[in-house]
Structure 1
Amino acid sequence: MINVIGRSKSRIPLILSQTGQAVSVFTLCYALAAPIFATLLAGKPMRRILVLALAVFSVGNGASALASSFSLLLMARAVAGIGAGLYSPLAAAAASSLVSEQKRGRALGMTLGGMSMGTVVGVPLGLVIAEHLSWQGTLWLITALGLIAMIGIVIWFPNFPASAPPSLRQRVAMLTNGRVSATIGITLMTSVASLGLYTYIASILHNLADINNITPYLWAWGIGGVIGSFSIGTLIDRTGRPGLLMAGILAILAFAIFSLPLGLKYPILSFLPFVLWGAMGWASQAPQQHVLLHLQPNHGAATVALNSSANYLGSAIGSALGGIVLLAGLAPSQLPFATGCLVLVTLLGQLLVVLRKNKEQ
């Protein structure tokens, strides 16, 4: 995400569109890499795959920092997206396999919590580094952190094989399973709304309330993400109703996004919608992963990869759609309303999934 404040008004739509393109390339490659490489590398030692993924991710970020043109930057972001797409779903599957089924929700929540902590610290820190050094400095920091994580996995992570890859028949059955496809579809729509809108948070704040310093709002969003991702796992384990929890998450997410314009008018309430938005956006992944691991217990890595793929594909679609509608003349202040309506449609779909499950039981 780049800061568009202070740029000439004639260039803002182009800058916003390029921002959307860079985000879309990363997330699209993430989405494609997750299911493909999870299948190709299934059965290999988990530690080796995770190290490989972090190596690809670090190379992509280093190449992004060295890119001399926008085209080269897009190619480098694609490489980084492939590495992230391989790493994240396997990390979630590994976490769930290290604990009993009764603690699976908390394991998934801890994994997501670590990712959200990275966002809480990483996004504001990256903005500070970019302001004082350059955006390339931020990418070099991410590259270094990836290398440190590689060393940590080599030293401390247990070396056990990933699950055997599903056969073609099993893979087709997985995709044609009504509950699996419905769960992944809800994940996709949630991501289109939540992560797609996040791409344009700077322009939304500036357009709605003439806010130039977005860092406090990024902190609020990220802190909410930490709260949501660390707490949702315990709720899943205690209630045993991940589908119903997902419906509640979508309801609160819709409220948070619709209330963004109103909240910004009152300083004492301005950060609350961002906290709720971040909390519900991050919390939405664990219930979906839990459902899929229950539906496909023998192919956990593959199903979690499909869910992660849908999550980041939704982010790519949301970022691209945002860039398209902004270039077409839609004001950034109107994006929260359009996104809120999409979340309500997604909530309706999730309620239908829950009702259908209850009828089948």
Structure 2
Amino acid sequence: MFSLLLLSGAMFALGLDAYVLAGLLPGIATSFNVTEGAAAQTVTAFTLCYAVAAPALATALAGQPIRRILILAMSLFVLGNLLSVTVGNFTLLLISRCIAGAGAGIFAPVAAAVASNLVAKERKGRALGLILGGMGTGTVVGVPIGIQIANAYGWQSTLLLVALIGSITVIGILTKLPAIQVAPPPSLRARVNMLIHPRVAAIVTVTLFTAIASLGLYTYIATLLTGMGLGSDPSMYLWVWGIGGVTAAFSVGHIIDRTSRPDLVLLIILTILAIALFCLPLTGSGPTLLSFIPFLLWGAMGWSSLAPQQHVLLDLQPEHGSIAVALNSSANYLGSAIGAILGGLLLDNGLLVPTTLPIAAGCTAVAAAFLQVTLLNTQLKNKSP
């Protein structure tokens, strides 16, 4: 049990680091004298390396003892956060975020595999739930606390907290985690090769567009709130977004099981997501119940969109399920990176203002929904006699 709690604590640090930067962008922009659009590329660096560099590094580490891989991955993650605090220019900050993202991307899938092998078969679901719960808690509880720490002591203090938690888990893994054998995560080449299947490619494209809309916009949540007149402290809205996300992520599986139609569930999710994003600029000029609802739905729909895709991919590619799911995960983080890049370009070149970013994100969600409708129609035609 201690080993599971240890891995869950590490995932808490990963969840905190992955989502807290969105609330730290104004402070980072001020420290390095760059625009918030430019500062947002720290999120791009983290998520891009999580999506692309981590699978490549995982291939290089294949065959190494699992405990060594976890220690190396978490050490990279800690190093990246420590460098983020100490670097003196923006380019080095981007490099440090790449290092942190690569470490996180290697650690997360291996930790999930280790957790499922630490317990009996009938308890694997609970073990994986504990791991996911660690990341979810890092988002729901850790991010608002991290923002408050940043407001009091500077954004660097929050990343120091992340590095501290990561360092504690490195010591714990080194001294307490038993030596076990698990299958290595799928390589980048294996993930890319999966794209030769047209339906897999289409499903993953829906995931990509969904992440561009949801996670891409999330990167600019502090900028968005300021532009909407909802205050410069995003803590409450980040908490609402996260609580909606975690609740929906743990609930959507029951809905999928009851309906046995994950593809239709996803279409409903994408429709509600688009509506929520379009409604964001229409909320009031202060923190009211009405202004929280679109953020709650945004978080809930964004987080719950992955589970239906995983179900469809596992049914479609039962013999290569782990590769298909890993590809979908990479697409999710790649979409986050692309969304952050596009948002920065649109804002810095005056093509959009913060209050119109949700409209662009909503249109992207509509595009994802349209592609999902196309997939459903194709599936119906294929089933027709």
TM-score (norm 2): 0.81
- For residues 210-225 of structure 1, the aligned pairs below 5 Å read 210-225=230-245
Which residue, 356, 374, 382 being the options, matches 1:334?
356
Task: Say yes or no: does 1:140 pair with 2:160.
Answer: yes
CA distance in 1, matches of 2:98, 2:237: 28
**Conserved? CA contact 2:140–2:238, under 8 Å:** yes
Post-superposition Cα deviations, 1:109-151, rounded to whole Å, max 9, x if no partner, equal: 6654432221112211111111222222111110122233345
Match of 2:180 among 138, 143, 159: 159
| Greater alpha carbon shift after TM alignment, 14-23 vs 185-194 | 14-23
* Residue 276 of structure 1: how far off its partner (Å): 0.9
Q: 2:220 is matched by which residue type in structure 1?
A: Y
Q: How many angstroms apart in 1 are the aligned matches of 2:379 and 2:130? A: 27
Change (3 A) 1:171 1:19: closer
Partners of 1:295 and 1:153 in 2: how far apart? 36
Q: Deviations over 1:88-116 (max 9, x none)?
A: 34445556778999999887666544322
3-state SS of 2:222 partner:
helix
Whole-angstrom distance in 2 between the partners of 1:272 and 1:90: 36
The 3 A distance-change label for structure 1 pair 58 and 236 is farther
Q: Is 2:358 aligned against 1:323? A: no
Q: Which amino acid aligns with 2:364?
A: L
Relative distance call for 1:143 and 1:91 in structure 2 (3 A) is same
Q: Is the 8 A contact 2:242 2:299 kept in 1?
A: yes
Sequence identity of aligned pairs in percent?
51
Counterparts of 1:60-79 in structure 2, within 5 Å, are: 60-79=80-99
Provide the residue aligned with 1:262 in structure 2: 282
Q: Which has the higher contact order (CA 8 A, sep 6+)?
A: 1
Within the alignment, does 1:19 sit opposite 2:19 as a pair?
A: no
Change (3 A) 1:304 1:340: same
Q: 2:311 aligns with which of 290, 298, 306?
A: 290
Map Cα deviations across residues 225-284 of structure 1 (whole Å, 9 max, x no partner): 111122123333444332222222111111111111223358231111111111111112
- Alpha-carbon separation, structure 2, partners of 1:132 and 1:358: 56
The residue number in structure 2 matching 1:273 is: 294
- 3-state SS of 1:225 partner: helix
**Displacement of 1:77 after TM fit?**
0.6
Over aligned residue pairs, what C-alpha RMSD do you find? 3.3
Q: Between 115-124 and 94-103, report the one with greater CA deviation.
A: 94-103
Unaligned runs of 5+ residues in structure 1 are none
Report what 1:354 is aligned to. Answer: 376
Alpha carbons 1:243, 1:291 under 8 Å: kept: yes
Question: How many positions carry a matched residue from both structures?
Answer: 357
CA offset digits 1:281-332 (Å, max 9, x no partner): 1112222233334444444443333222211111111111111111121211
Measured after TM superposition, the shift of residue 40 of structure 1 is 3.7
8 A contact 1:38–1:302 mirrored in 2 = no
What TM-score do the two structures reach when normalised by structure 1? 0.86
Q: What is the CA distance between 1:51 and its match in structure 2? A: 3.2
2:150 to 130, 135, 145: 130
Cα separation, 2, equivalents of 1:103 and 1:203: 43
Confirm or deny that 1:179 pairs with 2:237. Answer: no
| CA positional deviation for 1:19 | 1.6
- From the superposition, tell whether residues 113 and 66 of structure 1 become closer, same or farther in structure 2 (CA, over 3 Å): same
Q: Does the 8 Å CA contact 1:225/1:279 hold for their aligned counterparts?
A: yes
Deviation at 1:195, TM superposition (A): 0.8
Q: Cα 1:326–1:245, aligned 2, differ >3 Å: closer, same or farther?
A: same
**Which residue in the other structure is 2:57 paired with?**
37
What is the alpha-carbon distance in structure 2 between the residues aligned to residue 102 and residue 348 of structure 1? 39
Partner of 2:103: 83
**Higher mean C-alpha deviation, range 298-307 or range 90-99:** 90-99
- The one-letter code matched in structure 2 to 1:161 is V
Instruction: Supply the AA of the counterpart residue of 2:330.
Output: S
